[in-house]
A = this chain, B = another copy of it.
Amino acid sequence: VLREAVASEAKQKALKAREAAVVLAGLSTAVKDAALLEMASALLENQQTVLDANAQDVAAGRDRGLSDALVDRLSLNPKRIEAMAEGLRQVASLPDPVGSIISGWTRPNGLVIQKVRVPLGVVGCIYEARPNVTVDVVGLCLKSGNSTVLRGGSEAIHSNTALVSILRTAAGKAGVPEDAIQLITSTDRAEAQAMMRLNGIIDVLIPRGGAGLIRTVIETATVPVIETGVGNCHTYVDASADLAMAEEVAFNAKVQRCSVCNAMETLLVHRDVAAAFLPRMARRYEEAGVELRGCPRTRELVPQAKEATEDDWYTEYLALILAVKVVDSLEDAIAHINRYGSKHSEAIITNDYKAAKRFTEQVDAAAVYVNASTRFTDGFEFGMGAEVGISTQKLHARGPMGLEALTSTKFVVWGEGQIRQ
């Protein structure tokens, strides 16, 4: 009975979100933008409330022995709250995707058919310790006319409760139904599981977090999921590469920020340039503190590299570790990437026209680069504005997802009594 009572929080709140979604779908851009700006101000005005709640989470986390990295992700400060507010203001400045008529035509029988962009309805988000995801997701969903049902990590429950309370009040002030923003406050796992199976109430689930969380959601959910994030990205230095360019790009892809999904995890080098390229590159990596794990041919050229195992080719390190493999050909590089990669971001460094063409055609990934760092796979860097995440699946959206990824379409058909013969 307790389990039933607990499970009902997700359903109850999702149903409220669903009702609010009907109103949201009809809101003007002006009202939505005003609400976003109101929310930004409210976060700053109520900063102390948020910081106090966050301090409770941080203290509890320390007591439970959370790692320093996790505590850092969890922690808020005035600068981080200002960044959240700024994020909301940026979303307000983006164009509203809802209501655009994507295409339209008239049929021989006179039916006028229009394909119109509409909100998805209710977006569920399951995430981990970062409280900024709360604000981020609410902002993007509101702009695209969607209600949100949030389920954050239990570590951040006080912070999320404070944030959602502030966001709801601000939304209400601006004429947006408060029920469009729902936070599941029970930290019982049964609650998250119930949420993942609310077909017909929640339209889509977006898990945001590590590979484990994403896997759990995919395994458990019956609601459609947009898979985001895992990036086992490669850079392939072709036989024809400009080696100075290769060095800069390969360094940037690994070192500029190693903890993100678009950072490189494996470097592939054509055997013809391995001797000229690898020892020099290895020195540069070593200076930056990168641990190298190489195939046998790599280790002949870079003796200090550890031995790479089969597991290394599959691993998203998100750390200053790099797997390195010497390959015999472009074809071998493509085969390696298609076998071990996570279909996120893949780069070739080459001056060969055919190699560039073949690589972009045959590598199966959300983003394929010629002569550039994989680190550019990002909504802002692609010029799409704020980003919902980076989809690594092929349905609905692939690669950096902007506001459009939070919409669906509807056919509107205008007739004058047409019947089917």
Chain A contact residues, CB within 8 Å of chain B: 22, 25-26, 105, 107, 111, 113, 120-121, 199, 203-204, 218-219, 222, 224-227, 242, 245, 248-249, 251-253, 256, 338, 360-362, 364-373, 375-377, 381-383, 393-396, 398-400, 408-420
Contacts of A375 in B (CB 8 A): 419-420
A203 to chain B, nearest CB (A): 5
Contacts of A416 in B (CB 8 A): 245, 371-372
Show 26 A/B contacts (Cβ-Cβ < 8 Å), sorted by A: A25-B364, A26-B362, A107-B383, A120-B395, A203-B395, A204-B394, A224-B225, A224-B393, A245-B417, A249-B417, A252-B420, A256-B420, A367-B410, A367-B411, A367-B413, A368-B412, A369-B415, A370-B415, A372-B413, A372-B419, A373-B419, A373-B420, A375-B419, A398-B408, A398-B411, A399-B410
Q: Contact at A368–B252, with CB atoms within 8 Å?
A: no
A352 to chain B, nearest CB (A): 14
Q: Closest B residue to A413 by CB, please name it.
A: B369
Q: Contact at B22–A362, with CB atoms within 8 Å?
A: yes
Q: Contact at B224–A395, with CB atoms within 8 Å?
A: yes
- Indicate which residue in B199, B368, B373, B394 contacts A408 across the interface (CB closer than 8 Å): B394
Main SS class of interface, A: mixed
Q: Closest B residue to A335 by CB, please name it.
A: B22
Q: Contact at B394–A398, with CB atoms within 8 Å?
A: no
- The docked-state distance in angstroms from the alpha carbon of A219 to that of B148 is 23
Q: Contact at A366–B398, with CB atoms within 8 Å?
A: no
Q: Contact at A411–B393, with CB atoms within 8 Å?
A: no
Contacts of A242 in B (CB 8 A): 417
Q: Contact at A226–B415, with CB atoms within 8 Å?
A: no
Q: Contact at B372–A417, with CB atoms within 8 Å?
A: yes
- Indicate which residue in B226, B253, B419 contacts A395 across the interface (CB closer than 8 Å): B226
Q: Contact at B361–A25, with CB atoms within 8 Å?
A: yes
- The docked-state distance in angstroms from the alpha carbon of A382 to that of B372 is 43
* Those 8 A-B pairs whose CB atoms lie nearest each other, nearest first: A372-B415, A252-B419, A394-B408, A375-B420, A396-B396, A245-B417, A367-B411, A395-B396
Q: Closest B residue to A204 by CB, please name it.
A: B395
Contacts of A382 in B (CB 8 A): 107, 113, 411
A12 to chain B, nearest CB (A): 17
Q: Contact at A203–B394, with CB atoms within 8 Å?
A: yes
- The docked-state distance in angstroms from the alpha carbon of A411 to that of B391 is 12
Contacts of A369 in B (CB 8 A): 413, 415
Q: Closest B residue to A334 by CB, please name it.
A: B22
Contacts of A373 in B (CB 8 A): 418-420
- The docked-state distance in angstroms from the alpha carbon of A394 to that of B21 is 14
Contacts of A414 in B (CB 8 A): 370-372
Q: Contact at A376–B256, with CB atoms within 8 Å?
A: no
